[in-house]
Structure 1
Amino acid sequence: MQQYRSDVLVIGGGLAGIVTALELLSAGRSVTLLDRDRKDAFGGQAKESFGGILLVGTPEQRRTGIRDTPDLALRDWLSFGAFGREAEAERWPRRWAEAYVHESEGEIYRWLRARDIGFLPVPLWVERGEQGDGNSVPRWHVTWGTGHRLATRLAGLLREHPRRDALTLRFDHRVEALTEAAGRVSGCIGVMTGETERPFTATADCVVVAAGGINGCLERVRRHWHADWGRPPETILNGSHRFADGRLHDAVEAVGGVVSGLDRMWNYAAGIRHWRPRKPDHGLSLVPPKSALWLNWRGERIGPAPLVGGFDTRELVTRICGQERAWSWQLLNQRIALKELAISGAEFNPSLRERSAAGFLRDTLLGNRWLVREVIENSPDTVTAATLPELVEKMNALQGDGAVDLAAVRAAAERYDAEIARGPALHNDRQLRRIAHLRRWRGDRMRTCAFQPILDPAAGPLIAIREFIISRKSLGGIRTDLDSRVLDAGDQPVPGLYAVGEAAGFGGGGMNGLRSLEGTFLGGCIYGARRAARSIAGRT
């Protein structure tokens, strides 16, 4: 049996695990880092992400005239996350939220800048809230190079660390259970995967669980589906890491740790099937075009308040799950697609991922023609046509029935276009009012059309995109204190055991509450990992 021994054992090679190991090496500790995935996937879900991080009080904010404070950010955070419903269960999540907003500029922003990781100059304004109860100001800082740059840069620093000899880095290692000795968690047992499976054991003075959430296992997603969303949809796509399956949550519970709030998930409403899938039910998350009409399965505009992305992601999921069939269509045209269509993540943002300033400006100013062509030619959930009757015929053929009603689609599009024709002074459609609001912030103006009609012959062809709910992130998880120590049912630390990142609900077992202001995921991984490393280094 293969055996490993070090001061600290880190389980999981995503962003949280990498930062934990990096900080512990710098603190003089020896580290074993075990990852279940292949070597070339090192970096986990962060490596595939768009790279947005919520930060408060940064130079980028000040340069663009944004006055932000930790107190304002905390007010937004607690309001949007619906804190106050379960006071006792929210004790540690609230404390994590308070700590995050007060320390994000130093503990995350400056720490990353010191490691040559930068951001786009203009923060984006996401999750504003349906009633203005979300982000009061733009806080979403996009990593220059996407999450791919973030993860690969930090992984490179780990591999090149001056104390690299004190690091044991192993891939294709599946942890099955945690082990205990002398009244504390002392390591783990598991299986080395590959052509043949062989058992292994690892022992350490402290164990850090950094193995992600549960949202990569659709069976668990359905089991913990939130009551607000009714029954789980028949089709749910997987936009999480394939090994984020909750196996380590079970292991933590087996040694006395508390896991809570697994029904609190951050899923998205605009998922399409990946045409080059790397896992079962592999989905891509579209950034919903603001100027598209969001229709239900019949082709009726979802209302009475129209759905518009960028304000309340959870509410979009709730509204679509409340339909008779829990999937939807977006109706747009090529002009809207060129300006607004985007897919979240590093894979479909090559100019940003490769840090090509010229390519990024070209795609932003002239339209992302490469992406629109890629989606139209390859997406199994996208149809195009020159006329509306032809488009609806293709929508029904795609779905395999006659559910989409041409009259309903035509009525929605013509009414919307007629409202646009009246001119901005007379716009009374809530979607148009929101577009006007979005375009006041320059970070959104350059990616939002100026009141583009749907049926404009010069803007064609018409495009319809069928969208499903896509599973993404776990907001609940392993309960931890502010040192990232795992807590038991009596609110006492489980000796020797820590949890960081998505496994810990990004801090405290769910620091976001019911909703996230966005960008708290990558930020939470870094912040929680650094707190865990400091705690461990101070105790060992």
Structure 2
Amino acid sequence: MTETSDIIIVGGGIAGITVALELLEAGDKRHITLLDRCRADEFGGLARWAFGGMSLCATPQQKRLGIKDSPDLMLKDWRSFAEFEPEDYWPERWAQDYAENNRSLVYDWIIRRGLRFIPAVQWVERGLYAPGNSVPRYHVLWGTAKRLTDTLISHLEQAAARSSSKLTIQFETTVKALETTGGSVTGVQATNSAGDTKSYCAETVIVTTGGIGGNIPLVKKHWPKNWGAAPGNILNGNHPYNDGALHEATSQIGGAVTHLDKMWNYAAGVPHPQPSFDGHGLSLIPTRSSLWCDHLGKRIGPMPLVTGFDTNFLCQQVAQQEKPWSWHILNYRIARRELAISGADHNPYIRDRQAIRFIIGMLRGDPWLIDTMLSESDDFIAAGSLDELVQKMNGRTDSPYIKAHTLRDTVETYDSQVKRAPKQWNDDQVRRLQHLRQWTGDKIRTCKYQPILDNKALPLIAIKTHLISRKSLGGIQTNLHGQVLNTEGTVIPGLFAAGEATGFGGGGASGKRSLEGTFLSGCIHTARRLAETLLEQRTDT
């Protein structure tokens, strides 16, 4: 059985929705068929769960806060973090295009749709050994990415109703293969929920199926060599449908798939208390004032691990530990002020746009999140004393690795530094806390040099964490028109790609490290560039 369209879009995430929306709103009369593995109520994919942070430059928010940013500065920072290789022509071109055009292609486009960003701009990925974001750039959507998703879907439905073209959306449809004729891609093979297979034919096929982060065996296969062997237990912080099937299908027809060993995983994940699939994990934004320890209760070092500077470094250090888990040692006061979890569901005040509750939580700390995790997660442990904490921690592992005297020495050594006068501080973590607190957005979310063993800050808390998969920084190689290239660098006629499937452009636009927040916005950026190309083709013909 065969169905025919003019354009096939494979994948109903933000990138796929954006391409379809751009074409319909421009009055394109071609028939579009969008094929998505999700159910209709899941339309939007991983973005429904996402926090909604975006790396943007030269915005009104930055200007109001006195942040002097520019496309040139962003590109300089991007190249520093990316560490592009000489052969990374297309990834670097995409990076340059993002830096130069994110304001118009992403920020302005979002604002025109009635969405807005929280006024405070966050400062993430500041850099450790290599400079990262030299100024704050992380803009958070008011309503999280869920509101973005709902808004774009609503606009898509309205555009489809107004358009003289036809938009067909097939949910619960899985595409595993591309069909070719005479070297051109002419369609796909797909299977529906009943197991029936059919061919969809079109002169234009667009892949927007995400990365490989939902396929843990594939993540382990492409594990970065300089991180050591992949841990036995890696949590899945992606969408299980992001399995790399279309990467493989593209490779099978000669398409270039590059840099799959470049990953944006996170170093502190916990099993989801209400998992939606096997291995489902939550990605913590680790507290800065906690101690990050190994399986023996010793502080990981020699450089202490502190979030906010270089996520790639954190993952590499955790991956090289003897055991596939690590521990965060803190107290309730630290957790209340600093703990955060990535995603819409664990940021309800932002997701639901409850401004007053959000502001109160930022200023005073909010016990809701830590209380929820302590009650729902076995990997969040509370105790009234250090000895009790050690006993409970050992109960969460296959052997009593931690000795009370070891953990006590670790904590007391750190606390003694915190309690000294600032002129006598000689601890890298404390120095970095001092640096973080210079920026208002971080100051209100970072405790003022809080000792861990503090009777006024009880209970003590330990969090057992694992590495967790997130984004793919590599993928299907594309030129700036979104056209897929073969291994010789030549365009494959009829085949396009956008979003995470392309490593957010060119098969690896972020290089070795992301400046963070280049993912959701990267989907919009690459999708709009691709749509421009298709509209130009329509005009030419």
Report the TM-score when normalising by structure 2. Answer: 0.97
What residue number does 2:323 align with? 325
**1:25–1:31: 8 Å Cα contact kept in structure 2?**
no
What residue number does 1:21 align with? 20
AA at the equivalent of 2:21: L
| CA deviation profile, 1:235-266 (whole Å, cap 9, x unmatched) | 10000111000100111112221001111111
SS in 1 for 2:5: strand
What residue number does 1:166 align with? 166
AA at the equivalent of 2:461: I
Identity of aligned residues (%): 48
SS in 1 for 2:127: coil
**2:206–2:498: 8 Å Cα contact kept in structure 1?**
yes
CA positional deviation for 1:183: 3.7
What residue number does 1:77 align with? 78
SS in 2 for 1:160: helix
Q: Please report the RMSD computed on the Cα atoms of aligned residues, expressed in angstroms.
A: 1.1
Does residue 377 of the first structure (1) align with residue 375 of the second (2)?
A: yes
What residue number does 2:263 align with? 265
What residue number does 2:286 align with? 288
AA at the equivalent of 1:186: T
CA positional deviation for 1:82: 1.3
**2:185–2:495: 8 Å Cα contact kept in structure 1?**
yes
What residue number does 1:514 align with? 512
What residue number does 2:5 align with? 6
What residue number does 1:233 align with? 231
Q: Whole-Å Cα distance in 2 between the matches of residues 424 and 219 of structure 1? A: 47
Structure 1, unpaired ranges of 5+? none
CA positional deviation for 1:139: 0.6
AA at the equivalent of 2:16: G
CA positional deviation for 1:410: 0.6
SS in 2 for 1:351: helix
AA at the equivalent of 1:130: L
AA at the equivalent of 2:351: R
1:523-534 correspondence runs (5 A): 523-534=521-532
SS in 1 for 2:203: strand
Of the candidates 198, 201, 221, which is equivalent to residue 200 of structure 1? 198
What residue number does 2:116 align with? 118
**2:329–2:461: 8 Å Cα contact kept in structure 1?**
yes
**1:341–1:372: 8 Å Cα contact kept in structure 2?**
yes
AA at the equivalent of 1:57: A
What residue number does 2:308 align with? 310
Q: Whole-Å Cα distance in 2 between the matches of residues 316 and 295 of structure 1? A: 12
SS in 1 for 2:308: coil
Q: Whole-Å Cα distance in 2 between the matches of residues 93 and 183 of structure 1? A: 25
1:345-360 correspondence runs (5 A): 345-360=343-358
Q: Whole-Å Cα distance in 1 between the matches of residues 383 and 44 of structure 2? A: 40
**1:290–1:309: 8 Å Cα contact kept in structure 2?**
yes
What residue number does 1:41 align with? 42
Q: Whole-Å Cα distance in 1 between the matches of residues 164 and 91 of structure 2? A: 34
Q: Whole-Å Cα distance in 2 between the matches of residues 165 and 41 of structure 1? A: 25
What residue number does 1:250 align with? 248
Q: Whole-Å Cα distance in 2 between the matches of residues 30 and 310 of structure 1? A: 45
AA at the equivalent of 2:287: P
SS in 2 for 1:400: coil
Q: Whole-Å Cα distance in 1 between the matches of residues 281 and 498 of structure 2? A: 26
Does residue 66 of the first structure (1) align with residue 64 of the second (2)?
A: no
**2:208–2:500: 8 Å Cα contact kept in structure 1?**
yes
Does residue 471 of the first structure (1) align with residue 469 of the second (2)?
A: yes
**2:415–2:452: 8 Å Cα contact kept in structure 1?**
yes
CA positional deviation for 1:132: 5.8
CA positional deviation for 1:165: 5.7
**1:100–1:527: 8 Å Cα contact kept in structure 2?**
yes
| CA deviation profile, 1:434-455 (whole Å, cap 9, x unmatched) | 1111111111111111101100
Does residue 189 of the first structure (1) align with residue 174 of the second (2)?
A: no
Of the candidates 104, 107, 129, which is equivalent to residue 106 of structure 1? 104
CA positional deviation for 1:181: 2.8
Q: Whole-Å Cα distance in 2 between the matches of residues 474 and 224 of structure 1? A: 11
Q: How many residues align?
A: 534
| CA deviation profile, 1:203-251 (whole Å, cap 9, x unmatched) | 2221110001111001101111110111110110000111000100111
Q: Whole-Å Cα distance in 2 between the matches of residues 25 and 321 of structure 1? A: 46
AA at the equivalent of 1:189: Q
**1:25–1:166: 8 Å Cα contact kept in structure 2?**
no
CA positional deviation for 1:114: 0.3
AA at the equivalent of 1:64: L
Q: Whole-Å Cα distance in 2 between the matches of residues 514 and 326 of structure 1? A: 23
Q: Whole-Å Cα distance in 1 between the matches of residues 184 and 313 of structure 2? A: 42
| CA deviation profile, 1:354-389 (whole Å, cap 9, x unmatched) | 111012112212222111111101112111100000
SS in 2 for 1:481: coil
CA positional deviation for 1:202: 1.3
Q: Whole-Å Cα distance in 1 between the matches of residues 497 and 12 of structure 2? A: 13
| CA deviation profile, 1:295-333 (whole Å, cap 9, x unmatched) | 001000111110000100010011111111132000000
SS in 1 for 2:6: strand
CA positional deviation for 1:5: 2.6
AA at the equivalent of 2:94: W
SS in 2 for 1:299: coil
SS in 2 for 1:520: coil
Q: Whole-Å Cα distance in 1 between the matches of residues 378 and 530 of structure 2? A: 44
What residue number does 1:177 align with? 177
CA positional deviation for 1:200: 2.3
Q: Whole-Å Cα distance in 1 between the matches of residues 269 and 383 of structure 2? A: 21
Q: Whole-Å Cα distance in 2 between the matches of residues 164 and 288 of structure 1? A: 50
Q: Whole-Å Cα distance in 2 between the matches of residues 31 and 463 of structure 1? A: 53
Q: Whole-Å Cα distance in 2 between the matches of residues 182 and 401 of structure 1? A: 61
What residue number does 1:417 align with? 415
AA at the equivalent of 1:281: G
**1:158–1:164: 8 Å Cα contact kept in structure 2?**
no
